[in-house]
Structure 1
Amino acid sequence: MDLKQKIIKTAYELFAEKGVEKTTVSEIIELAGSSKGGFYHHFKSKDEILEATTMNYINDLVMEYERILQDQDRTVIELLNLVFLKISEYKIDQIEEWPKMKILFSFSGNHVILRKLAEQFELVTTDCYLKLFRKGNEEGIFEIKYPEFLASLWTREVMMVFNKSREVIYAEQSETLHNFENLLHFTENLLNQTLGFTSHKIKIKEAALTYVQSARNEQNGEG
């Protein structure tokens, strides 16, 4: 681990333990085993290191997307399904970090970094979907006239699904889960029909429900 990553990891642990506002740059420098010069060589401020800490999530996704796009053994349909599956799996892996993240983001003005995080997620995910749609067009699998618009729409649908999943994770009424399942079925229909498929070749329901159930188990102490 190089110094920059060590500083980011140390800052994350301190932010998650004490909160951003109560953590000082001096504490980060000391616990990371860095000098002031070493710290300020990589980061200009605590706000900058906070952004780097939270954007690690995006960096991990970008690397996963790159692996998907380089996969020559799967069809475009399989790769499209794999994108959603990898997002779901990553979110499952992060469930244990929720208590830390709750503390980390409990600072004044947190909406700014959260909005930027959402914007970056939308940007990189749209780019991944766009490349797969263009690949499908080239291979004659699709006939998408405006792949850039569809990629953007598709990403917003994915974000909507995960935003709605938060309500289901904490809901006690079974009706909420039932409505969520209907939403997933509707979204699958929408995505498949847009691509001209009469059956559900594009699948999101199973992966989304697995994420929700994993999160609910964790909340109930069953994880």
Structure 2
Amino acid sequence: MEKDARKSVKGRIVSSAWQLFYEKGYNGTTVDDIIEMSGTSKGSFYYYFSTKDELLNTLSMILDDYYEELEANMEPEMNSFSKLLYLNYKMHTMMEEKINIDLLASLYSTQLVSEKQSHLLDRNRNYYRLLDRIVEEGQKRGQIRTDVAVSEVTRYYAMCERALVSDWCLNKGRYSLGEYSRECMPYMLEHFKA
């Protein structure tokens, strides 16, 4: 129970921070703003984060929390290939609507020059475990090719998602990321369809 309570406090801080980053911009958001919105204390904030900058490393946490929501809303009998397309569309639509594009572009670019392993590539993320489960399910159901390893299908899917987000950032959000993903992702994944 104590672990869940700590996760809840950290989760409230993180989700409040990202909402404020979107609404007020990163530079316009203060630690006090985050504390107030999250309903936590300075002590709680500084227990988890030394600085506001450290919150930038929590993007994968925000994304993984949303993937959990999406998984809970998917019909279990839905075609596995369709589940992958659903996740992609919903996630990219959320990113477009709730994550500041300039901040997202900056985060992606810092992942390129960082000497630490990218949080986005961490195979222990819920994101990768969810994709692995869906691909494995799809192979068992005969909906996704079985002559390619689950991990390879997942790796390719994740790479396609990152490519779509990167291109959207490069284009300064001139088009809808969700709609463009809905259009492109089926073609990008067609190779793996059984």
TM-score norm. by structure 2 comes to 0.60
CA distance in 2, matches of 1:159, 1:165: 10
After TM superposition, give the deviation of residue 63 of structure 1 in Å. Answer: 4.1
- Give how far 1:88 is off: 0.6
In structure 2, how many angstroms separate the alpha carbons of the residues matched to 1:168 and 1:8?
25
The CA distance in 2 between the partners of 1:47 and 1:147, in whole Å, is 35
Q: What does residue 121 of structure 2 align with? A: 119
Say if 1:144 and 1:41 are closer, same or farther in 2 by CA, change over 3 A: same
Partner of 2:77: 73
The structure whose Rg is larger is 1
Distance change >3 Å, CA 170–CA 90, structure 1 → 2: same
In the alignment, is the contact (CA less than 8 A) between 1:15 and 1:103 conserved in 2? no
For 1:1-223, list aligned pairs within 5 A. 3-21=9-27, 23-29=29-35, 32-52=38-58, 55-65=61-71, 68=74, 72-74=76-78, 78-97=79-98, 101-102=100-101, 104-105=103-104, 111-112=109-110, 116=118, 118-119=120-121, 124-138=126-140, 142-144=145-147, 146-164=149-167, 167=171, 170=174, 186-192=187-193, 195=194
* Change in 2 beyond 3 A, CA 1:81/1:104: same
Shift of 1:89: 2.3
Give the conservation status (yes or no) of the 8 Å contact 2:64–2:127: no
Aligned-pair identity (%):
18
For 2:160 and 2:102, locate their aligned partners in 1 and report how far apart those are by CA, in whole Å: 28
Structure 1: unaligned runs, 5 residues or longer? 172-176, 196-223
CA distance 1:6–1:79, shift in 2 (3 Å): same
Query: In 1, Cα distance between the equivalents of 2:89 and 2:124?
Result: 15
Which runs of no fewer than 5 residues in structure 2 stay unpaired? Answer: none
SS in 1 for 2:147: coil
1: CA distance, partners of 2:34 / 2:172: 37
Task: Summarize deviations over 1:24-45 as a string: whole Å, max 9, x none.
Answer: 4345335555432222233333
Q: What's the TM-score, normalizing by structure 1?
A: 0.54
2:110 partner letter: V
- 1:31-76: CA deviations, max 9, x gaps? 55543222223333322333336631232114434665xx5433xx
Higher relative contact order (CA 8 A, sep 6+): 2
User: SS at 1:56's partner residue?
Assistant: helix
Which residue type is aligned with residue 82 of structure 2? N
Shift of the alpha carbon at 1:134?
Answer: 2.9
User: 2-side partners of 1:185 and 1:10: how far apart?
Assistant: 33
Residue 187 and residue 25 in structure 1: after superposition, are their counterparts in 2 closer, same or farther (change >3 A)? closer
Count of residue correspondences: 177
3-state SS, counterpart of residue 170 of structure 1? coil
RMSD: 4.4
Structure 1's 160 and 11: CA in aligned 2 closer, same or farther, altered over 3 A?
A: closer
